[in-house]
Amino acid sequence: MKIALPIDMNNVKGFLADDEAQALYQQALSAAESGAILEVGSYCGKSTIYLGLACQQKNSVVYAIDHHIGSEEHQLGEMFHDPELFDSGEGVFDTFKEFRRNIRNAGLNDVVIPVVATSEVSAKHWYTPLAMVFIDGGHSLDAALCDYRCWATKIMKGGILAIHDLFPAPEEGGQAPYAIYKMALASGLFEPIAIINTLGILRRL
């Protein structure tokens, strides 16, 4: 199903390839019939918009979890630092203003629920079963492990776990997302569905 996009996604900062966005949308469209969706690592909202558009069609919601101060690779002097997102007055990297603007422009204020916090804090008293979880947070091993451990068991049976930035070869990219993907497979809780570009899709057994 072709996605009807309300805004030009080329103007939304992010690192999601078109084929990954399409796959994420299709999975969310199906999952949203069963319950809420949650993403870890919203950045400026590119993936959130695709998830939100699916939820909008199914009268569901997406919880968008991000502390909005950037991961390690977004800080000053790092490879993925964007000076346009650096608040020089506060001296911090801050994506929340840009995120809110994009969600508003996409007409998704009633669908997307921002949670400005870490996975650990957000999950502490979380009791709502989730139809889909998309992990695209910090790519250090500690951050990725925390995201996986916080949310994997909160996915309902038959629900979807999607993990972004899978690079089996170390020379292609960071290994932390691939490590938690392999952990999910080894856990016995998930079965593999597909890998689209660097997006891994699994189903909760």
| Helix intervals (H) in 107-194 | 119-123, 141-151, 176-187
Cα–Cα distance measured from residue 116 to residue 9, given in angstroms and rounded to the nearest whole number: 23
Neighbours of 158 (CB within 10 A): 11
Q: Is 164 a catalytic residue?
A: no
Query: 66 vs 96, 116, 178, 186, CA distance in Å?
Result: 9, 5, 20, 27
Please name which of 63, 154, 77, 172 lies closest in space to residue 113, comparing C-alpha atoms.
Answer: 63
Question: Beta-strand (E) ranges in the chain?
Answer: 36-40, 62-65, 86-87, 92-93, 112-115, 130-135, 155-163, 190-196, 199-204
Catalytic residue among 67, 68, 74, 139: 139
Active-site residues, by number, are 139
